[in-house]
């Protein structure tokens, strides 16, 4: 197998268009050659916009020997059944985050790799932002000294727009509200920056006036294996923000993006802030760092293409995807226990036992 890797995409809504737009005519490592939706209208619209032929059913896509990987941009509850279909056909799997609606389903998706000899890539793209990669490099080079604390926030106003016709309205489809929709991004980012996570302690509240079932405010304390602490906060009823700060003995770093450019990540560098504040220097002596142009969506799909060629999982692994879901589940259990800390390993082992994996 060689580049460009030919791929299919399933679920032709807004997010399929965002991903396809990120690679069409811009990547030499993959080419989306087939699209499927149950809606003929969506297939026709997608073909008209991207010149990607629609197929009448999944089997038409899966029986094409030229297609080596399939991108799933479907509702969370459909991730497992469709991933199983793709893996059984011997094709590599990309699924949007979260890896699945439940941790049990996520673990089953992870097991498909060994069962069918394919790779699974999970679209936790936030860790691929240029600013996050620069922070990770500074941590790895000991430029910040011993890191003792990290904090992150991902908030936006979308809980104010929920209606009973939207799946995010319901607890069983969007567990914890902003926990599974927003905090999960930052859980994965802090897992990348901080290493193994031991436990999560959380509290949540429901303040949106629309009456949805889900909580819309969340505060989460994370304890890492090496003793450092982390915090992830989220308001689902406020203007959008995505920010990360890392505190070390030699310095701190702050990264913040304009959430309005989330769907066009190649523009993030034009409206983002990244600085380092060293030693005993005050905020006024901070050094603002240049953020290079990048595209987290193209980067994740090119990582998927690499996995299709090598047959080896890259950084966006099913395991990392399941750790992020397990952190959400630990947070949910902590909320039920009035903030008591819950071990992530307990959540993972209990769920593995239930599903027999």
Residue 199 lies in a domain: yes
Residue 90 lies in a domain: yes
Q: How far apart are CA 148 and CA 73, in angstroms?
A: 37
Whether residues 283 and 303 share a domain: the answer is no
pLDDT for residue 259 is more than 90: no
Any idea what the CATH number is for the domain that residue 49 is in? 3.40.50.720
Residues 80 and 149 in one domain: no
pLDDT in tens, 273-291: 999 999 999 999 999 999 9
One domain for residues 34 and 65: yes
Q: Give the Cα-Cα-Cα angle 285, 287, 292 (nearest 5 degrees).
A: 165
d(CA 350, CA 357): 10
- pLDDT, tens digit, for every residue of 33-62? 999 999 999 999 999 999 999 999 999 999
Q: How far apart are CA 280 and CA 249, in angstroms?
A: 10
Indicate the average pLDDT of the chain: 96
Residue 162 falls inside a structural domain: yes
User: Taking the CA of residue 197 as centre, how many other CA atoms within 13 Å lie in the half-sphere pointing to its CB?
Assistant: 35
Task: Give the domain range for residue 278.
Answer: 129-294
Please tell me whether residues 135 and 118 are part of one structural domain: no
State the CATH number of the domain containing residue 224.
Answer: 3.30.360.10
Structural domain contains residue 332 = no
Are 26 and 82 in a shared domain? yes
Q: Is 90 helix (H, G, I), strand (E, B) or coil?
A: coil
Residue range 108-143, pLDDT digits in tens: 999 999 999 999 999 999 999 999 999 999 999 999
163 plus 57 within the same structural domain: no
Residues 120 and 165 in one domain: no
Task: Report, as an integer, the average pLDDT of 212-231.
Answer: 97
Nearest to 6 by CA among 308, 307, 310, 303: 308
Classify residue 45: in a domain, yes or no.
yes
**What percentage of the chain exceeds 70 in pLDDT?**
100
**How many structural domains are present in the chain?**
2
Sheet holding 197-205, edge to edge: 287-288, 273-278, 251-257, 241-248, 147-155, 229-235, 217-224, 197-205, 342-343
Euclidean distance between CA atoms 211 and 206, whole angstroms:
9
User: 12-35: per-residue pLDDT in tens?
Assistant: 999 999 999 999 999 999 999 999
Q: Could you tell me if residue 260 is inside a domain? A: yes
Of 123, 117, 96, nearest to 314 by C-alpha is 123
Per residue in 149-206, pLDDT (tens digit) is: 999 999 999 999 999 999 899 998 889 999 999 999 999 999 999 999 999 999 999 9
Residues 43, 163, single domain; the answer is no
Q: What is the pLDDT of residues 309-325, one digit of tens each?
A: 999 999 999 999 999 99
Regarding whether 143 and 99 lie in a shared domain, the answer is no
Instruction: Judge if 139 and 279 occupy the same domain.
Output: yes
pLDDT for 172: 87
């Amino acid at each position: 197998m060689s580049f460009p890797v030919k791929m299919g995409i399933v679920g032709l809504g807004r997010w399929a268009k965002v991903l396809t737009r990120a690679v069409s005519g811009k990547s030499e490592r993959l080419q989306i050659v087939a699209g499927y939706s149950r809606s003929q209208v969506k297939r026709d619209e997608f073909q008209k916009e991207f010149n990607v032929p629609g197929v009448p059913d999944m089997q038409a896509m899966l029986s094409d020997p030229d297609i080596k990987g399939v991108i799933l941009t479907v509702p969370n509850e459909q991730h497992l059944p469709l991933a199983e279909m793709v893996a059984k056909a011997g094709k590599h799997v990309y699924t949007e985050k979260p890896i699945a609606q439940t941790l049990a389903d996520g673990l089953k998706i992870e097991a498909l790799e060994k069962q069918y000899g394919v790779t699974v890539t999970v679209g936790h793209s936030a860790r691929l932002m240029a600013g996050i990669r620069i922070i990770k490099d500074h941590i790895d080079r000991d430029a910040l000294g011993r890191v003792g604390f990290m904090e992150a926030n991902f908030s936006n106003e979308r809980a104010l727009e929920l209606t009973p016709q939207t799946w995010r309205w319901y607890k069983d489809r969007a567990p914890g509200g902003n926990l599974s929709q927003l905090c999960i991004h930052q859980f994965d980012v802090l897992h990348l920056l901080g290493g193994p996570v031991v436990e999560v302690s959380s509290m949540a509240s429901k303040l949106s006036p629309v009456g949805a079932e889900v909580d819309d405010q969340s505060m989460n304390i994370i304890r890492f294996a090496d003793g450092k602490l982390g915090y992830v906060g989220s308001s689902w009823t406020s203007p959008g923000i995505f920010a990360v700060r890392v505190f070390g003995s030699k310095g701190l770093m702050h990264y913040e993006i304009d959430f309005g450019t989330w769907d066009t990540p190649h523009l993030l560098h034009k409206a983002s802030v990244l600085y380092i504040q060293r030693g005993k220097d005050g905020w006024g002596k901070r050094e603002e760092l240049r953020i290079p142009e990048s595209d987290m969506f193209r980067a994740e799909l090119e990582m998927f293409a690499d996995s299709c060629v090598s047959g080896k999982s890259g950084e966006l692994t099913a395991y990392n995807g399941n750790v992020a879901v397990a952190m959400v589940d630990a947070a949910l259990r902590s909320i039920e226990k009035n903030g008591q800390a819950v071990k992530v390993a307990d959540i993972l082992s209990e769920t593995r036992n239930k599903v027999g994996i």
